[in-house]
Structure 1
Amino acid sequence: MAIQSPIPFPFSEAVTGFDKSVINISNGAIKTGTDLIASTTPADAGKVYTLTVVPSSDLDVGSNLTVSVSANPAITDSAGNAYSTTAANNEQAIDTKAPVAELSGNMAPNANLTMTFLEAVTINTAGSIVIYDKANSDTLITIDIATA
């Protein structure tokens, strides 16, 4: 899961009384300017909500951003049954690593460089591509993508 992706809160049936006050967050917060959004798709109406949560700071390796729903009698189904906290956790890993493209072999001077990434990437208009020597991790060249 990418950082700042909306987090789904699915219920098995439509509920009332579910709002931000029952959501607990550790090592993070609700993204400024966002709100809890209820799905308007007919099949999911009242059953699926989404919220965007961000880390409070860069997370250390092995630390977690945790989001949970409090036991709250205000959350009920259409029959008035209270929300059950026995639901299983739904954990998502957050992708915090920069994309990698491995290149090997020799390259002729002034040749075009073609990079194939090991995962889908989004092209930005700022930043740089850094080429390292695999043998000793020395930086060989840094390419500013805004001017390349």
Structure 2
Amino acid sequence: MTWDLFALLYARVEAELAKNLQRGHGLGLSEYRALRQLAGSSCGELRMQELAEAVGLNQSSVTRLIARLEEAGLTRRTLCSDDRRGVYSVITDAGRARLAEAGPTYERSLEAALERAEGDPALKPLVAAVRGAGTPSA
């Protein structure tokens, strides 16, 4: 079934990314993705709920994630000036620097994981679809 193959491909790629980001930069995959989302936002900040949705976490998980990033000096929290109940996470200069260092590792790891997966005939059509070169057969 295509969905099972997709889950297999996803798991393999995620494991490779997580291992290399942790080893090379001391970042978990969710932490890296949170920094990417923050850096890509217009002001380098997002409401905690927006960040949770962007990285696919629930509210309590993103709160713990941001606490780890704050402890490392990669983000900080601020209150919304219009609504004091709104809490934003803001990427710091150190967070931008760590993201810039980790970006090439992420890209190389992604490409290497996809290349390995492409060697599996069952996964080859999915890899092609991920790369935009084709459509997986059902």
Structure 2-normalised TM-score? 0.25
The TM-score with structure 1 as length reference comes to: 0.24
Query: Considering only CA atoms, is the larger Rg found in Structure 1 or Structure 2?
Result: 1
Task: Flag the structure with higher helix content.
Answer: 2
Between Structure 1 and Structure 2, which shows a larger proportion of strand residues? 1
